[in-house]
Amino acid sequence: MTQSQREGHSHVAETKIQYHRGRAELPTDPRYERLVAMIVGLTSQVSVLSERLATFQRLAERKGLFTREDVESYTPSEEELVQRAKSRTHLIETVFNCVEQDLALLGGKK
């Protein structure tokens, strides 16, 4: 029994990283590759959004429109909260779409 199985994570695959000439060679399991692709895609999007947000905040401060403290203390309206929830749901659906497609194929659905 593996450590993962003892901790109740029997569904977690044990991943062994091989090294060749001092460089890591990651497993070629399609599930692993898909997960890495999802993480890389999300990380790049977070990076772009963080840079843009920082730019907007600096421009707003320079022009005297609002400060970072204004952003931190902002309370969204009910309408804004509903829109944010819809946007969050859409993002989650987009990110996990490939996983859902795989599950549908495994279950025989199209």
Extents of the domains making up the chain? 76-110
d(CA 23, CA 47): 26
Is the model's pLDDT at 62 over the cut of 90? yes
Q: At 19, is the secondary structure helix, strand, or coil?
A: strand
Q: What distance, in Å, lies between the first and last C-alpha atoms of the chain?
A: 36
Residue partners of 102: CB distance under 8 A and separation at least 6: 34
Is the model's pLDDT at 83 over the cut of 90? yes
- What's the whole-model pTM score? 0.55
Contact 40, 28 (CB under 8 A): no
Q: For residue 104, what are its two tokens?
A: 């549908």
pLDDT for 11: 47
